[in-house]
Amino acid sequence: MSNPEPEASLPSEPLIRYEQPAPGVARIVLARPAQRNAQNRSMLYQLNDAFDRAAQDDEVKVVILSADGPHFSSGHDLRDDAPMSDFTPVSCWGGFDLAGAEGWLATEEEIYVGLCWRWRNLPKPTIAAVQGRVIAGGLMLVWPCDLIVAASDAVFSDPVVAFGVNSHEYFVHPWEVGARRAKQMLFLGDDMTADEAHRLGMVMEVVAPEDLDARTLAIAQRIATRPMMGLKLAKMSVNQALDAQGQWSAIQSAFSLHQLGHAHNRERFGIAVDPGGAEVIRRDSAVSIDRTTDQ
């Protein structure tokens, strides 16, 4: 869930790479492998800039999101304390430094829900190429993408109920895995394998780890043979169907409950999350490893 090293990152430090591996295709790469691509604020804003660059380049038809290292993303970097004044907001929110729940609400609405929703509505097809661990906030990078290609070693989880909140901030779990599997995912913090995610329809295809980049690029190149207008209209049509189902209202409702969890934890523990959560997650991870070893 957090950066294993207390190394801080300046806003100017490059934490993503922007590549153009084939005509019509842009690839954005998370480039913080030593921290398992834990997301600090610098990474999130650099990622947003890269998505905007791809969206505004008329030569780009498809965007791939991938990651360096053995793991796609370990989630939010809980050690990140960069001030919001270091960044230019992309929403109409302000008051990030205000006391109490007001400042925290504004910050998380901007850097989590706001950014995810922008990426979800990027007017070009997006494909996540995923390997290794994808934990909590890592799902918030994957789920806004239109398609997901997973290496066979990919494992998905959202264990943050252990921290005394309902989930990560971009709550689309019932749409991604179904209502009952979402409850299991949240109540137990269990891992979901790439194969199970594929059976549930969350993942498009599972491939060998060594084939992940090549296969994702091949899919992107095939998509890029279609006219951009048709791709844009198809994406808008599916997203608007989700909107009609109430997805955005559900995200906002769950985000409000997430803020209630933070407020409760601050009253009880003086911090935004239940401090006992880390030990619960470590214990469950050890049990999961033991089960895998026994099989």
Q: What percent of the chain has pLDDT over 70?
A: 93
**HEC string for 13-30:** CCCEEEEEEECCEEEEEE
Distance CA 21, CA 60 (A): 11
User: Residue 3 domain-assigned?
Assistant: no
User: Residue 1 domain-assigned?
Assistant: no
Distance CA 49, CA 38 (A): 18
Q: Give the E-state strand segments of 41-85 in sequence order.
A: 62-67
CB 111 within 8 Å of CB 105: no
User: Residue 4 domain-assigned?
Assistant: no
pLDDT, tens digit, 9 for 90 and up, residues 127-136: 999 999 999 9
Distance CA 143, CA 127 (A): 10
User: Residue 9 domain-assigned?
Assistant: no
* Domain containing residue 203: CATH number: 3.90.226.10
How does residue 287 score in pLDDT terms, banded at 50, 70 and 90?
low
* Helix, strand, or coil (residue 291): helix
Helix (H) or strand (E) holding 194: helix 194-199
Domain count, the chain: 1
pLDDT, tens digit, 9 for 90 and up, residues 174-188: 999 999 999 999 999
Q: Considering only CA atoms, which of 51, 59, 70, 49 is closest in space to residue 25?
A: 59
Domain extent, residue 118, equals 16-294
User: Residue 11 domain-assigned?
Assistant: no
User: Residue 8 domain-assigned?
Assistant: no
Extract the tokens encoding 245.
């189902």
pLDDT, tens digit, 9 for 90 and up, residues 123-156: 999 999 999 999 999 999 999 999 999 999 999 9
| Assessment of whether the complete model's pTM goes beyond 0.85 | yes
User: Residue 180 domain-assigned?
Assistant: yes
Percent helix, percent strand, percent coil in the chain, to nearest 5: 50, 15, 35
Backbone φ and ψ for 133, nearest 5 degrees, come out as -80, 135
CB 57 within 8 Å of CB 123: no
Check pLDDT > 50 for residue 293: no
